[in-house]
Amino acid sequence: MTIQARYSVTIEDVARVAGVSRAAVSKVIRDAYGVSPEMRAKVQAAIDELGYRPRASARAMRGSSYTIGVEIPDIHNHFFPKIITGATTALADTRYQLIIAPAGPDHDQGPQAIEALADRQVDGIVAISSQVPQAWLENLGRTTPLVMIGVHQDSVNYDTLVGDDLLGATLAVRHLHDLGHRRIVHLTLAESRPNTTADTPHGLRVAGYARAVAGLGLEPEFVRVEGGQESARVGALALLSAADGPVGIFAAHDELALGVLQAVAELGLTAGQASVVGYDDTDIAAHPRMALTSINQSGTQMGAIAVRLILERIGGRTQTAHEVITPKVMARASTAAPQARATDAAGAARRQQQVST
């Protein structure tokens, strides 16, 4: 029989009745990894007996730590510091501090990093890793305010914040087409990579690119790479070495675009012969020596919005929020009107002379 308590039941009460630690109760509530069936049954029995309701009162029961956790999949990605900067700025006039938890070098430890933050009793979590099971996130969102960035999902218990990746890809294609390019190639991650599914930014950029070029009457063309600047350089070298005319290249994010720019420089090509558009508009894109045209989705704004959503959840909001950032093109010197290569021009002159004679 459920006890009708006249006081607010706490997580410590559940732990005492179950004969386990507070951390163990937290793990059962969040459906965390590594919980044995026996432990789960023991804690659930205590929850049922006490009438514990974690969704409505989880934060009040544990008190406030005045910390917000931020999980990032990769410390080397130039876009993520912009999110952290935006979040830090938004918290400047509050008592809250950020705790950063990288997922690890393999980019597939998102659940463990997010769970590590939850175990530290942060008041809310902002997470970026896309390869985390949605059911697991829904369970976590029942007890901990949670915002997922870059995950295009119809969530119930957590908020989402995304860029309009379909529009961003369309803007990149249109920019190159408006300059006059008629061969527009998308350099993106290999389909075997885990963060390329249809609901991820990379997957949606692929779809947006394909739709945009088809709408312009052009043929879609892909260069698939494993990820990272070096693999993009190698892929771009193969593409540009075989090209017999100007090419516009839309890279899936700025790190890949930097590898493409390296290949362009090694081959001695101009921006008109090989125009490059990146995505994310990282700080390095605006550096005068890079001058990379990029799609801006305002990482600092994302960080600030994520913090606002977390604070709203802490304040009692229960309705799910799904916010979308509208991207824009930041045109720089890496893109220009199509220009024939010198060898192409010489070949055309010879062919014209042959026709004349």
281 and 169 in a single domain? The answer is yes
In-domain check, residue 347? no
113 and 138 in a single domain? The answer is yes
In-domain check, residue 50? yes
In-domain check, residue 3? no
Q: What is the pLDDT of residue 351?
A: 34
User: Mean pLDDT per 10-residue run, the chain (357 residues)?
Assistant: 50 90 82 79 88 54 78 86 95 92 67 85 90 88 93 94 98 98 97 83 96 97 94 98 96 96 97 98 92 96 97 92 97 97 53 39
- What's the predicted TM-score (pTM) here? 0.78
213 and 232 in a single domain? The answer is yes
187 and 216 in a single domain? The answer is yes
In-domain check, residue 354? no
Helical packing angle, 22-29 and 37-50, nearest 10°: 90
Residue numbers of the domain that contains 33: 11-61
Q: What is the pLDDT of residue 24?
A: 86
In-domain check, residue 6? no
Q: What is the pLDDT of residue 74?
A: 79
Q: Please give the Cα distance from 115 to 64 (Å, whole number).
A: 18
Q: What is the pLDDT of residue 285?
A: 94
230 and 151 in a single domain? The answer is no
Q: Please give the Cα distance from 202 to 248 (Å, whole number).
A: 19
Q: Please give the Cα distance from 69 to 148 (Å, whole number).
A: 12
130 and 99 in a single domain? The answer is yes
127 and 216 in a single domain? The answer is no
Q: What is the pLDDT of residue 31?
A: 66
CB contact burial 176-191 (16+ within 10 A = b; e otherwise)? bbebebbbbbbbbbee
DSSP class of 245:
S
Q: What is the pLDDT of residue 60?
A: 41
51 and 69 in a single domain? The answer is no
Coil, strand or helix at 174? helix
Tell how strand 97-102 and strand 184-189 pair up: unpaired
